[in-house]
Amino acid sequence: MKLGDAIQSDDWKTEKHVPAIEVPDTVTAGEPFMVTVSVGKEIAHPNTTAHHINWIDVYFKPEGDKFLYQVGHFDFSSHGASVQGADTGPVYTHPHATFSMTADGPGTLVAVEHCNIHGLWENSQEVNVT
């Protein structure tokens, strides 16, 4: 088995597990731009002790390059657990992260997320650079 065989994908507007990636339509080479990744943008994903998103990894694959480069890793580690029991805690993290990056040329952002029950899910978004 290969890792890629275990990663699922679908249209993020119809599936609550697929990470949504938001970037500007066009960015300027070498200039910082904002990227937002999230899970549950159109259809809310549960955020409970028993069912939650653990993390999102984001990679960039420059056009014409063979390799992906990791640009971010975001952990979501609080899902309502407490000593009183599941879903009674005072803190919940939500699978949503915004960060800044630069790119020298066009490429593709790839986001992979892990749901503790439904495994790995991915999505990609082209980055147009001028």
Q: Which residues are catalytic?
A: 15-17, 45, 51, 115, 118
**Strands, E, within 27-68: which ranges?**
33-39, 53-62
HEC string for 116-128: CCCEEEEEEEEEC
- Supply 34's token pair: 């904002």
Nearest to 106 by CA among 10, 2, 38, 26: 26
